[in-house]
Amino acid sequence: MDVSVRTAGFGDDETVRLPAPVEACAYFVITEALANVVKHSGAARGDIALELGAGRLRAIVRDEGCGGASPAAGNGLVGMRRRLAAFDGTLSVSSPAGGPTVVTMEMPCEPLSPKTTPSSGQD
């Protein structure tokens, strides 16, 4: 499956980092959403948009598949919602029959300052 990624708010060279727990949560939610695209949608491509700004991180995963995703109890969407709730985040799903499916994750966060970023090499 082809996937395009678009980012905004991470600096011109995309070096802005988030706290590790926030990055891990976002990674889990995005990979789970992509796994759902592969397993259930029948889509040949997906799109990811990551936007950082105004004290929040937003990730949108979209596919042009068959639609019909539902955050009913017992599926992966529930786990995604639960993980985000630990960060006061939210998950919304729009997936009408026939598609497209759009999964939107939002959670409050602030980027690490360059001085506290572990890879910055500054004391």
Domain ranges of the chain: 2-9+17-111
CATH 3.40.50.1100 fits 2-9+17-111, yes or no: no
| Mean pLDDT estimate for the chain | 90
Average pLDDT score over residue span 68-74: 78
Helix, strand or coil, per DSSP, at residue 27 = helix
d(CA 123, CA 121): 7
Residues 6+ apart with CB under 8 A from 87: 21, 22, 25, 107, 108, 109
Q: How much is the pTM?
A: 0.87
Per-residue pLDDT at 24: 96
What's the pLDDT tens digit per position in 14-66? 889 999 999 999 999 999 999 999 999 999 999 999 999 999 999 999 999 99
Q: Tokens for 1, please give them.
A: 């499956």
